[in-house]
């Protein structure tokens, strides 16, 4: 199949279906309505089910229900809607259930704005709900990458029995560009040992899934989840290291911000500036290794570029860089988009020692 022009939200929806999604529940919110709209037509075509819930809370709990019987289930929303779902996402993790959550983020806090922003980094990577659980967070920067990551998201979720988050901003959600779609994935034919329901009718011990641990057991779960997150850091980090070999200046950016930054970096390289970029593709686990292997005798400064103010990823950068080089930040926020000139000027200020 060749490349076709698709809209971000629709490309993610299609990739989820191709990756095995057979249940979607959600509640409308801009700028991600094209995703449920697409699902409402597409899922019935493949024998799946689409539900527009009466609220975000209802929707995430329907996803919980579908996940208990082994159906690949997802929901999507935008920032304030994701916040409403956070309790249910925590319950998913607490009950060891796989699911796919997509946040097409917009400006905040509060109802904020319907325009795009990258203001949910901290929520996504530190505390997507109460109780101290973590999730793998994918942050694609192109629609092709969004398709590829979404397509495989259920494999991670089922391997870990934990929800997975895809975080993109509203601009990538509404942009149209070329994507190549993968083939439809074969769904697992055998029921996993934890899944509810008894399709074959065999005699077996009753199964239970819950996120409440009235007696012992919760600490064990906490330990297991903690070890799982450490293992992600060893095995599942995804990062693009762009022109880092001789870099004196290192931009750190993800998603839409990384695209604008890459354009600026390419231009500056043509002028002989030794500049490169670390682009986290998994925001959690954070690509610590890319910072550890830098030659700090050479690196003069880091520039954190995010479409949010103040920068949020900066804390994670600082934990790796410590005081070995200064970290500057540049961003736009509140629904104002980054643009080529603004990003280039911000980088040039750092180069000229004026930041």
Partner 1 sequence: MKNTLLVGGSGGQGVMSVGTMLAESAAENGKYATFMPVYGPEQRGGSARCTVIISDDEIMSPLPKKVKTLIAMNEQSYKKFINELEEGGILVMNSSRVTSTVAREDIRIVSLPADDIALETGNIRNANIVMIGAYLASTGAMDPAEFMKSLEHKFKNKPEVIEQNRKALDKGAEIGKQTS
> Which residues make up the interface to partner 1 (CB under 8 A)?
3-5, 114, 171, 174-178, 256, 259-260, 262-264, 266, 337-342
Closer to partner 1 at the Cβ: 9 or 149? 9
Closer to partner 1 at the Cβ: 69 or 344? 344
Q: By C-alpha distance, which of 261, 348, 342 is closest to 304?
A: 261
Closer to partner 1 at the Cβ: 68 or 119? 119
Instruction: For residues 103 and 173, give the distance between their C-alpha atoms in angstroms, rounded to a whole number.
Output: 10
Dihedral, 223, 224, 230, 234 alpha carbons, nearest 10:
160
Q: Would you state the structure tokens that stand for residue 141, as one six-digit string? A: 């920067």
Q: Give me the least distance between CB of 237 and partner 1, in Å please.
A: 23
Q: Give me the least distance between CB of 201 and partner 1, in Å please.
A: 51
Q: Give me the least distance between CB of 42 and partner 1, in Å please.
A: 20
Q: Give me the least distance between CB of 117 and partner 1, in Å please.
A: 13
153-159's contacts with Cβ under 8 Å and 24+ in sequence apart are 153/16, 153/19, 153/100, 154/19, 154/20, 154/21, 154/72, 154/98, 154/100, 155/19, 156/236, 157/98, 157/99, 157/100, 158/72, 158/98, 158/188, 158/192
Closer to partner 1 at the Cβ: 185 or 269? 269
Q: Would you state the structure tokens that stand for residue 271, as one six-digit string? A: 């002028």
Q: Give me the least distance between CB of 73 and partner 1, in Å please.
A: 29
DSSP classification of residue 298? T
Closer to partner 1 at the Cβ: 74 or 268? 268
Q: By C-alpha distance, which of 79, 97, 80 is closest to 88?
A: 97
Closer to partner 1 at the Cβ: 209 or 337? 337
Q: Give me the least distance between CB of 11 and partner 1, in Å please.
A: 13
Dihedral, 224, 131, 286, 70 alpha carbons, nearest 10:
60
């Amino acid at each position: 199949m060749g490349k076709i022009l698709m809209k971000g939200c629709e490309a993610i929806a299609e990739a989820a279906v191709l990756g095995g999604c057979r249940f979607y529940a959600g509640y409308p919110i801009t700028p991600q309505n094209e995703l449920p709209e697409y699902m409402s037509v597409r899922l019935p075509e493949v024998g799946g089910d689409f539900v527009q819930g009466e609220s975000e809370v209802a929707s995430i709990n329907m996803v919980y229900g579908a996940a208990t019987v082994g159906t690949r289930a997802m929901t999507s929303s935008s920032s304030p809607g994701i916040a409403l779902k956070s309790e249910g996402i925590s319950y998913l993790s607490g009950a060891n259930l796989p699911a796919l959550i997509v946040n097409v983020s917009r400006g905040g806090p509060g109802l904020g704005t319907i325009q795009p922003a990258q203001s949910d980094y901290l929520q996504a990577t530190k505390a997507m709900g109460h109780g101290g659980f973590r999730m793998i967070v994918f942050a694609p920067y192109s629609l092709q990458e969004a398709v590829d990551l979404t397509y495989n998201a259920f494999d991670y979720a089922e391997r870990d029995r934990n929800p997975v988050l895809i975080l993109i901003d509203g601009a990538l959600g509404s942009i149209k560009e070329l994507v190549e779609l993968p083939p439809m994935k074969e769904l697992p034919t055998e029921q996993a040992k934890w899944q509810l329901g008894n399709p074959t009718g065999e005699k077996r011990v009753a199964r239970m899934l819950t996120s409440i641990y009235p007696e012992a057991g919760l600490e064990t779960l906490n330990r297991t989840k903690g070890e799982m997150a450490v293992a992600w850091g060893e095995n599942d980090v995804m990062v693009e290291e762009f022109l880092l070999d001789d870099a004196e200046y290192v931009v750190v950016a993800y998603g839409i911000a990384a695209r604008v930054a890459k354009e600026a970096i390419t231009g500056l390289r043509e002028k002989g500036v030794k500049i490169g970029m670390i682009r986290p593709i998994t925001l959690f686990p954070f690509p610590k290794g890319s910072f550890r292997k830098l030659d700090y005798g050479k690196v003069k400064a880091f520039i954190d570029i995010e479409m949010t103010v103040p920068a949020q990823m900066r804390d994670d950068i600082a934990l790796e860089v410590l005081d070995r080089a200064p970290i500057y930040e540049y961003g736009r926020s509140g629904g104002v988009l980054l643009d080529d000139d603004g990003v280039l000027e911000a980088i040039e200020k750092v180069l000229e020692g004026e930041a």
